[in-house]
Amino acid sequence: MTAPRVVVLAGGVGGSKFTLGVREALARRGAPEATVVANTGDDLWLSGVRLQPDVDSLVYALAGVNDTQRGWGRSGDTERVNAELQAWGAGWPWFTLGDLDLGTHLARTGWLREGQTPTQVIERMSQRWPLGVHLLPMTDAEVDTQVELRDGSSIHFQEWWTRHRAALEPAAFHNPGIRDARPAPGVVEAIAAADVVLIAPSNPVVSIGPILAVPGIRDALRSAPGSVVGVSPIIGGRVVRGMADVCLAAIGVETSAAAVGAHYGARTGDGILDAWLLAEEDAGSADEVAEHSIRPVVTPLWMTDAVASGAIVDAALAAAFDAAGW
């Protein structure tokens, strides 16, 4: 199959790097644009505006306006409004909002207040910047992530991640209200129509976890007629970037490529994967993955640029076609 219909489940920065590769690999094949389902579990209200960090990471990266040096926000951004907010004591002193970034949040908040859904807001954002993918939020419901600490108290994920740099030991992650959330319009339909669903090498706990927790999405993956292929975010037993290891420890999963694959599980069992891409550094765990009835595929997993990510997507598509017996 040269022009597969592809769906991607993605978080922010890792999800963006991977999605640039998906766009590249599909364009090379003349395939239709992928549908990218973004985690919205990181979303929050701050100083009266709605932030959607993972959606914005994807939008900025796909539009080519992201700050690649810093790893978040817009390139060439300034912080005049942020300084003024801090002078007022508004917002969080440890959470910087760039001026251009605030423009996005104000536009989004205005449209939401006018009654548009997050799905419609993202559609509108992609009119300004054609993204080369069909970007959807996982849900239109307002869901956030609370980190339960060992003393029983809870704080917002962004406070735990950005202010405390994940240094407070988490007992659990919760997405209050997610049981009543529904997948955004088009999400389940896209999965049902896909030849391949790719799980980006995003944080398994706080990026992919919330997407899978939206009632209906896991079932859609389990019954999808296409193949489901995941990409390990762990290389050589380490998180490449960020603090996913702390998140994994909290849910009792070892920081290893095989353990994360087993955490997602095989579709032939009660999981979601047909195949799992492991880095060359983790070639030794391929057998362990196979023991979980997931097809292991060993390939370089460093997403240094869109071409490197595109090569990962090539390997994932090849694995999908093998798994489906094409």
43 binds Ca ion (CB under 5 A): no
Which CA distances in Å does 301 have to 123, 274, 310?
A: 31, 18, 10
Q: Which position among 4, 11, 183, 226 is part of the footprint of Ca ion (CB under 5 A)?
A: 11
Q: Which position among 46, 81, 186, 302 is part of the footprint of ligand GDP (CB under 6 A)?
A: 302
315, exposed or middle or buried, with CB in 10 Å at 0-12, 13-18, 19+? buried
End-to-end C-alpha distance for the chain, whole angstroms: 8
Considering the complex, state which of residue 83 and residue 307 has its C-beta at the smaller distance from ligand GDP.
307
Q: Find residue 298's DSSP bridge partners.
A: 278
Neighbours of 169 (CB within 10 A): 12
Q: Which two tokens stand for residue 87?
A: 């002078």
240 binds ligand GDP (CB under 6 A): yes
* Nearest distance from C-beta of residue 41 to Ca ion, angstroms: 8
Considering the complex, state which of residue 54 and residue 195 has its C-beta at the smaller distance from Ca ion.
54
52 binds ligand GDP (CB under 6 A): no
315 binds ligand GDP (CB under 6 A): no
Query: Which candidate, 191, 80, 179, 186, places its Cα nearest to that of 137?
Result: 186
Angle at 112 between CA 107 and CA 115, to 5 degrees: 135
Q: Find residue 74's DSSP bridge partners.
A: 66
12 binds Ca ion (CB under 5 A): yes
249 binds ligand GDP (CB under 6 A): no
* Nearest distance from C-beta of residue 325 to ligand GDP, angstroms: 27
Which of the listed partners (Ca ion, ligand GDP, none) does 175 bind, with a CB threshold of 5 to 8 Å by partner kind? Answer: none
Question: Site residues (CB under 5 A) for Ca ion?
Answer: 11-12, 42, 54, 207
Question: Site residues (CB under 6 A) for ligand GDP?
Answer: 10-15, 17, 54, 57, 201-203, 207, 232-233, 235, 239-242, 244, 301-303
